[in-house]
Chain A
């Protein structure tokens, strides 16, 4: 092959090293307004009243919008997230009102003039509490609601785990958890929106999926796709965070309202405190293992803290359920993966999405099993490895398996001696 496999430097690399590459946050337009938003200071609250009259009259203000100014106030992959908060807010930092003004200072001054009365409500932030009966409800449909209308549990069932546990010489249990993480791309989220000469709304966006964002926000703005153009494709890092919309919707609404270019650029603090994150997960494993190192049965219970809106949470649980049992052939398997809503910022997608969190738990548990049986970490991985053609946990045959080859490779790299038995193994049966 002449091109594939070649070490060719980055197509846009000269732009990067010369500073010529233009990111969304570098886009400046004449007469551009700055957007700032009023964010809810409580984890959960009822907005009893909001009076924006004085704020709208503040110097330098071109527009101030609340939920009533949004043509269709729901967005996201599962469109349940409010562009601007309704009566009940669900997380700290949720956008309530947005202002476009001539300067950042004018925008912040205007926000300070909004008269708003909150009733602070009891939030629920611990997913293991939120899933219990009688827990405060994050949303009217309940804390375990699945938006696709399916069962609240994503299940995997293979073989018979109870029989598998009977075959085992050791039963090992483990509980693992992972925290909230921020994507932290070096370019914080930014949108620049304006209405062009043809009347089309143009949004310079950090979206990882320009067409996805366009389709989603066409519903919010109630615009046909020929009146809404997304511009982007070069961004200062994403890591999944830009699969969720943080600024495009509000910048677009304000550009439509004012007829002027509007920039909405999150500060680092806003991005960390209020944008989507990798939310916490809890994993409980119960494994049966035989003296020869074969895993005879595995039961996994997963709880995904989805935050306050679905965003990509439902999809994360599904992907997690498929992968949580790890790169091992396990004949008797039961997985129950579920998600629960809590009053924190919504769960977005983040690199390793729903999988790496589970693989941390699974791979630490696997070493526990090896210790119980008295075999080495690498042996247990060889013994239980998938081969090409084995059924995956979802039942479909595995193509081009390589656990064995990567183990052989990493053993050679790190100077681990392998017995002839493992050196002779292959993923092809």
Chain B
């Protein structure tokens, strides 16, 4: 059985056809052709597929697509305002945090959802919040430094929430 799901994607009303057993990751990637959420393990271990669902970071490979009806989903694609990067994106780039980049969209989403909830975290809180997102190339250090720089306003004020 498949069903047409209506939800809000990056601020836009969106419809996608989804099978009963499809995950949110499959709905986004295969149903909508949105490739920024990556599949690294398909069992919730690695965090490459992290998106922001109703304000919280979730691993989209562990969310059943049918459950997102009427909800709001943000991906890294929606965080850019024109060509203006979100401070978290800008910080990751300037601090050289991503290497191969495969974990990066998930890492951006996890970090944005986190700073939306906690705009002045400690380093330990950042590490804890991002610890469900694996990176195999880097040492995590530059990601932590970048988040700390972003919350201190080095790349402009943090937007409140995902809506621009």
Main secondary structure of the interface of B (DSSP, over half): loop
Q: Does A18 contact B (CB under 8 A)?
A: yes
Determine the chain B residues whose CB is within 8 A of the CB of A187 once the complex forms: 38, 40, 100, 102
Q: Do B33 and A16 touch (CB < 8 A)? A: no
Determine the chain A residues whose CB is within 8 A of the CB of B77 once the complex forms: 18-19
A interface residues, tally (CB under 8 Å)? 29
Q: Does A375 contact B (CB under 8 A)?
A: no
Q: Do A186 and B48 touch (CB < 8 A)? A: yes
Q: Which of A13, A19, A23 contacts B76 (CB 8 A)?
A: A19
Q: With A and B bound together, what is the CA distance between A246 and B104 in angstroms?
A: 25
Q: Which of A16, A184, A267, A268 contacts B101 (CB 8 A)?
A: A16
Q: Which of A9, A14, A20, A26 contacts B96 (CB 8 A)?
A: A9
Q: Does B58 contact A (CB under 8 A)?
A: no
Determine the chain A residues whose CB is within 8 A of the CB of B98 once the complex forms: 10, 13, 16-17
Determine the chain A residues whose CB is within 8 A of the CB of B135 once the complex forms: 186
Q: Do B137 and A237 touch (CB < 8 A)? A: yes
Q: Which of A19, A186, A188 contacts B100 (CB 8 A)?
A: A186
Q: Do B100 and A236 touch (CB < 8 A)? A: yes
Determine the chain B residues whose CB is within 8 A of the CB of A238 once the complex forms: 100
Determine the chain B residues whose CB is within 8 A of the CB of A186 once the complex forms: 38, 40, 46, 48, 100, 102-103, 134-136
Residue of A nearest to B135 (CB): A186
Q: Do B101 and A236 touch (CB < 8 A)? A: yes
- Interface pick from B1-9, B63-71, B86-94, B119-127: B86-94
Determine the chain B residues whose CB is within 8 A of the CB of A13 once the complex forms: 92-93, 96, 98, 101
Q: Which of A9, A21, A28 contacts B94 (CB 8 A)?
A: A9
Residue of A nearest to B100 (CB): A237
Q: Does A285 contact B (CB under 8 A)?
A: no
Q: Does B39 contact A (CB under 8 A)?
A: yes
Q: With A and B bound together, what is the CA distance between A18 and B39 in angstroms?
A: 16
Q: Do B102 and A19 touch (CB < 8 A)? A: no
Q: Does B43 contact A (CB under 8 A)?
A: yes
Determine the chain B residues whose CB is within 8 A of the CB of A10 once the complex forms: 93, 96, 98
Q: Which of B39, B45, B46, B76 contacts A17 (CB 8 A)?
A: B76
Nearest-neighbour CB distance to chain B for A116, whole angstroms, equals: 27
Determine the chain B residues whose CB is within 8 A of the CB of A188 once the complex forms: 40
Nearest-neighbour CB distance to chain A for B23, whole angstroms, equals: 13
Q: Do B136 and A239 touch (CB < 8 A)? A: yes
Additional pairs, 12, CB under 8 Å, beyond known A188-B40, A236-B100: A13-B101, A16-B98, A16-B104, A19-B37, A21-B101, A185-B100, A185-B136, A186-B38, A186-B100, A236-B101, A238-B100, A268-B40
Interface residues of A (CB under 8 A from B): 9-10, 12-23, 25-26, 28, 184-188, 235-239, 267-268
Interface residues of B (CB under 8 A from A): 33, 35-43, 45-46, 48, 75-77, 80, 85, 89-90, 92-94, 96, 98, 100-105, 108, 134-137
10 closest cross-chain pairs (CB), A and B: A19-B36, A236-B102, A16-B101, A26-B35, A19-B105, A17-B89, A19-B76, A16-B98, A186-B40, A186-B102
Contact sample, A vs B, 11 pairs, CB 8 Å cutoff = A9-B96, A10-B93, A13-B98, A14-B93, A17-B76, A17-B92, A23-B38, A187-B100, A188-B40, A235-B100, A236-B101
